[in-house]
Chain A
Amino acid sequence: MITTADQIFVLAKHAALSLLHGAPFWVVETASCLINLCAVLAVFLTLFALISVLERKILARIQNRYGPNRVGPCGLFQPVADGIKMLTKEDIVPRDADKVIHFLAPVAMVAPAILALGVIPYGRNMTPFSIDGGVLFFFAVGSATELAVFMAGWSSNNKYSMLGAMRAIAQMVSYELPLILTVLPVVMITGSLSPDRIVDAQAGYLLGAIPHWFVLTPWGAAAFLLFFTASLVESNRTPFDLPEGESELVAGHMTEYSGFKYATFFMAEYFGMFAVSGLAVTLFLGGWRAPMAFLTFIPSWIWFFLKLATLLFTFIWIRGTLPRVRIDQVMRLAWIFMLPMAFACIIAAAVWHYYQRGAIGWMAALLIVGAVYAGLSQILETRRKLSVRTYRFAE
C-alpha cells in the first residue's frame, strides 16, 4: 500500500533533484547524497533536542518531580537555552593536553554516529545510504568510536579522562561480541546483511494481526533483549555508564572538555543511542512495517519513529530505575551470561529455520532458549556466594 503520504519525502527529494535536470551525473549524485545527509542531520538534531528535554522530564517524573518547566511551554524550549549556554561557554584546553588530538576527538566521536545513522531504513524506500552490507557497515563505523574515546581520554592528560577511556574501551570491546552475535541469527535467517532485505523478510502477517517480526519468535525475543542490553553498554547508558561515572571519575573521558566540544560529545552519545535503537528496530521490530495489516495506511516512517521512540523511552526508563554496576559485574555479565545466551539464540534460530519456521520449530526454539536461560540462572544464582571481596593486585 504505497500512498503519497507514505512516500512524501521520497517524492520531495525527486522533485528537488528534477531541478538539476540535465546536470552531469556526478552533480546529481552529489546533490542526492547531500539531501540525504541534511535530512538525516535535521531529523536527528531535532530528535536530540527533543529527547534531551524529554529525558529530563521523564527522569523527573520517575522521581516524582516536575522536571524542566520554565523555558517555553512545558519547558520544551529548554534545549534552546542549553544550546545557547553551551555555545557561549569558554572553550578550555588544558595546558598539557595534546592540542590536535584533543580537538579531533569530538569530531571522531560524532562522525561514526552520523555515518551509522545512514544505513537504517526509515521508511519504504527511505534508506539514506543503501549498501549490500549495511549491518556490517554499521558495526564497522561503530568500532571507530572506541578510538575516539581513547583519543579524548589520552589527549586530555588527566587521570580521570584516562581511567574513563580505559573503562569505556574495555566495556565496548567486550560487548561488541554479544552485540554482533545477537545480530547473527537475524542475518542467518534472512541470508542478507542489507537492512532493507532484513525489513522485507519481516513483512506479512499471520491471520492479518500478528506480524512476522523476529521479536515474536523465541530466539528473536531473547536476541532482542540481549542486543538491547549490549546496546546500553555500547552507548554508555545507565546502568553501564561507568566510563563517566560522576561519583568517581568526574565525567570520564569528557572531563577536560567544555562548551561546544562537550556538547558535541553529548550529541555523539545520543546519536549513537539513536543509531543502535534504529538498528534494533530494523533487525527485530520489523523496521518501518506496521504491526497489524489494517494499520498499513499510516505512513511507514511514522511507524519507524514510533518504534524508535518506544525504545528510546525504554532507555530512559532503565536509566531512571537501575543503579550503576561495578566494572567486574559488567565484565561478568558479558562473558558468563550474554555470550552463552547469544550462542543459544543462534542455535535456536537454526532449529527454528530447520523446522520450516512452523509451530514445532517455534516450540523447539523456545525450549532451547528457555533451557539455557534457566540453566544459567540456576548456576549463577547458586554460585553467588556472599563473601568478603578479595583484591588480588591491590595489596
Chain B
Amino acid sequence: MNPGIPFILIAALTLSGALAAAILPNLVHAALSLVLAFVGLAAFYFLLGAEFIGLVQVIVYIGAVAVLIVFTILLTRPAVAQRGDLNWGGVLVAIAVMSGLLWALARTALPANATAAAPMTVMRVGQTLMGDYVWPLQTVGIVLTAALIGAVVLVMEEDR
C-alpha cells in the first residue's frame, strides 16, 4: 500500500499542528496551531475528492470556530497560570478518547477493495439535503434561528 507523498506531507502537517496545539504553553500559539491542523484536515478532504466538505471545513472551522477561539482568548485575561508541567487530566482524557477511537477502528470491517463512490459534488450535496434530509435540515434551521433570536434578546438594550 503506497500512501503517496501528498498524504505523508499532509499527515505530518496535521499531526504536528495538533501536537503543537496540545502542548504549547501559550494559548494563542496553541490556537493558531489548531488552525494548522484544521487546514491539514481540509487538505485531506480535498485529497479524497470531497471538495465541498473540504471548503466547508475551512469556512466553518477556520472562519468561524478558530476566530471564535482567538476572540475568546482576547477577551479573557492573559493566561492566569502558565505552569510548565503537563496537564495530566487532559492527557488522561486524550488517551481515553484515542483508545476509544482505536478500538472502534479496529472493530470496523473496512472493505478491502473500496469501490469509488460517485464524486460528491455541490449539486449532489444540495439535492440530498433538500430531498432525503429535508426534515432534519429544517429542524436544525429552527433550532439555529431560536439560538439567534435568543442571542439578539440577550444583547438587546433595555429601554430606560
Q: Is the CB of A192 within 8 A of B123?
A: yes
Cβ of A33 to closest chain B Cβ, rounded Å? 14
Which residue from B59, B74, B123, B157 sits with its C-beta under 8 Å from A143? B59
Decide: A144 and B63 in contact? CB cutoff 8 A.
yes
Does the CB pair A192–B122 fall under 8 Å? Answer: yes
Query: What residues of chain B lie closer than 8 Å to A154, measured between beta carbons?
Result: 28, 70, 74
Contact-residue size bin, chain B (C-beta under 8 Å from the other chain): 20 to 34
The answer to the question of A133 belonging to the interface, with a C-beta cut-off of 8 Å to chain B, is yes
Q: Does A279 sit within 8 A of B, measured CB to CB?
A: no
Instruction: A139 to B60: give the CA distance in the assembly, Å.
Output: 11
- Across the interface, name the chain A residue whose C-beta is closest to B157: A392
B51 contacts which chain A residues (CB < 8 A)? 131-133
State whether B52 touches A133 (Cβ < 8 A). Answer: yes
Q: Does B10 contact A (CB under 8 A)?
A: no
Q: Are B59 and A140 in contact (CB under 8 A)?
A: yes
- A150 and B67: CB pair below 8 A? yes
What's the minimum C-beta distance from A193 to chain B, rounded to whole angstroms?
5
Question: Smallest distance from the beta carbon of A256 to chain B beta carbons, Å?
Answer: 16
Contact of B52 with A136 in the complex, beta carbons under 8 Å: yes
B71 contacts the other chain (CB 8 A): yes
Report if B15 contacts A (CB, 8 A). no
Contacts of A280 in B (CB 8 A): none
Residues of chain A at interface, number, CB under 8 A: 29
Q: Is B13 an interface residue (CB 8 A)?
A: no
- Taking CB atoms, residues of chain A closer than 8 Å to B102 are none
How distant is the Cα of A142 from the Cα of B121 in the complex, in angstroms? 21
Q: Check: B37 CB closer than 8 A to any chain A CB.
A: no
The CA of A10 and the CA of B78, in the complex, are separated in Å by 54
Known: A147-B62, A151-B32, A162-B74. A133 touches B55 (CB 8 A): yes
The answer to whether A166 and B74 touch (CB under 8 A), given A144-B58, A147-B32, A150-B67, is yes
Contact between chains at B74 and A101 (CB < 8 Å): no
CA distance A16 to B23 in the complex (A): 49
Q: Closest chain A residue to B152 by CB distance?
A: A335
Instruction: Look across to chain A and name the residue whose beta carbon is closest to the beta carbon of B39.
Output: A144
Flag whether B43 is at the interface (Cβ < 8 A).
no
Convert A285-322 into 0s and 1s, putting 1 for each residue whose CB lies closer than 8 angstroms to a CB of B.
00000000000000000000000000000000000000
Complex contacts, B63 vs chain A, CB 8 Å: 139-140, 142-144, 146, 176
Residue numbers in A under 8 Å from B142 (CB-CB): none
Instruction: Tell me whether B56 is interfacial, beta carbon within 8 Å.
Output: yes
Is B160 an interface position by the 8 A CB rule? yes
Q: Residue among A136, A191, A192 with the most chain B CB within 10 A?
A: A136
Does the CB pair A146–B32 fall under 8 Å? no
CB distance from A364 to the nearest CB of B (A): 23
A143 touches B160 (CB 8 A): no
Interface hits, B51-110 → A, CB 8 Å: 51-52, 55-56, 58-59, 62-64, 66-67, 70-71, 74
Partner of A390, one of B35, B74, B160: B160
Task: Given A131-B51, A143-B63, answer yes or no on A191-B123 (Cβ-Cβ < 8 Å).
Answer: yes
Contact B122 A140 (CB under 8 A): no
C-alpha spacing A136/B125, complex, angstroms: 13
Please give me the residue from chain A that is nearest to B120 by CB atom: A132
Interface residues of chain A, those whose CB is within 8 Å of chain B, are 98, 101, 131-133, 136-137, 139-144, 146-147, 150-151, 154, 162, 166, 169, 173, 176, 191-193, 335, 390, 392
The 4 closest A-B pairs by CB, nearest first: A143-B63, A140-B58, A136-B55, A140-B55
